[in-house]
Structure 1
Amino acid sequence: MPQSFALACVESNSPSLSCDCLAHRFGNAADRPDRVPSYVSDMTEAEWQVIRAVLPVPAWLEGRGGRPEGFCHRQMIDAVRYVADNGVKWANLPADFPPYRRVHAFARRWQVTGLLAELHDRLRDKVRQKEGRAVDPTAAIVDSQSVRAAANIPRSTSGWDGGKRVGGRKRHLVVDCLGMVLAVAVTAASVQDRDAAVPLLERLRKMYFSIRLVWADGGYAGRLVDWAAEKLQLTLDIVKRSDDTTGFVVLPRRWVVERTLSWLMRSRRLARDYETLPAMHEAMVLWSMTMLMSGRLAGRRPRCFQPAGTASAVNTPGRT
């Protein structure tokens, strides 16, 4: 990247080159704190301040075991966002990020320990408050999406969706009325929606006791409706297409979760399933949503222009 372009990026994205992440303040981070944000997936200064305020405290900082991290939290998060946004292999991370093995270990550790879910839920609460909603939702929408699997996906966790004619995996989402993810589960594509909904709705009830109503499509009709009412005290409202409807029609309530599924497809890592473990696919869904929510909370990403007078004006399109 030309030096003049890099300087323009610094001026618009990072007014201060010093890093205030926990790893630099209290850990062993001795890497390059002056890394210049160069990619669309990199957090702007406004986004970093949003995420910095809700970052979960690692165990080592609270004296609960583990060693202080040796790499910048901001750079680690930017590296994971780069993988989610661009769909590259971990080994193909650009050289200005920390070593890819450390980045993958960071992403895996945050998924296993629940730190990623904690960060995601805190950002979702901020979005709901910004939109004038209560933190605890009272209604939700459930749906699924089948995606093709890459060659590295084991057969034990993949299958064939006969209805969509897709071989791979299926991600099941429960979202609130703003389209923010409340719960996610990844199964083989052969698993029926109503079967996957049983553990998903059980988890939803444990996490959000305030929810009383869940909208769903015809794939969830049948015994699941009675089971949800008896076991979980949830009203499962089936929103069906009318018999005389032809072509594409926006259905009440169901369009919200359909929009969320389309948001996820913007992340190339989620356009096809590349994750060996279904749990890592679920983590990539949460990473994708954190990118969307941090951008929404921080406002539109500023454009990064080449200074006037150069041979050609170069800019990086912003993310809304």
Structure 2
Amino acid sequence: MIKSFVILLSICLTLTWAMPAQICLGDVLFVHDYKSDEYLMGKQESELQVGYTPRAMLVDKQTRYTGSWMKRFFGEVKEQRDTTHFLLEKRRIREIDWYKNKIVTLPFENLHHVRMLQADSAMAQGAAEILNARYKVVEPVFTITINPETKTVGGYPCTYIKADLQLETRDLKKNAASITLVRQHLWVSDAVPGADQYDNFHRQLAKTLGLEAERLGQLNFLLRYWQGPLDPIRASLVQIKGYPVQNDFSVEARYVKNVGSPTSTVISKMIKKERMTLSDAKVMDSLDESRFAAVGPFSEVTLQ
């Protein structure tokens, strides 16, 4: 359950925050096609619907696991539904567990359940000393390129942003290196209907959660892998304006043997590739919230 909170929060917070706040003129519904190919789970196809009112963000993701391994394991194409409500005024997150007919509520005050906490115990410190004697973390390489020219994507004039992050850890004993290449390519537009309503809600959400607004921006997918401060890249982040019309994200793992040697060899594996494409955006007087509601008898539990 907690994992689903994190995944859906990451997906939704990837969408833009960086436009000027405006008066909300109505509710809005965004629909996205979401395709993913993961090393363990295989191929997935999803429809992601995100609805906004001044008081709530409602998310519904319906996924079909179309990979051959998953189809062999389940004997058919497995389907899954994830629905989450971010209730700003009530300061609560509600997730509908369709499989167990249960609704789980998480108050904003208890979000430490899903935040990454750094261990500071004596045991953790001792383990860190042993690891540091064998492993060396190389300075990460983070680059962001913003193309000033616009290109029409999905019917919207878009700006192209390319962001790359390289993480590397050296194994001093084996003279080897583990490298993670994280890439996110975005096409964003400030002409998407409902972007002002979206922006207004996410600004309020960031303020309520006490998070850096930039971490809730368009590069949220990539920033999940960045543990350092945002100051070195903040100037680039604030230049990224617009609603993501297309978002491509990938994670590649490389293992290098005999680093710096003529016999050096590289083993590569693509861990994840994702593409999220905006298929529809509608502004309306009132959002039909029934499409995000639980139907039938559901038990409810609140996480403390």
The verdict on a shared fold, with TM-score over 0.5 as the criterion, is no
Kindly indicate whether structure 1 or structure 2 has the higher relative contact order, using CA contacts under 8 Å at least 6 residues apart: 2
Richer in helix (by share): 1
TM-score range, shorter chain: under 0.3
Structure holding more strand per residue: 2
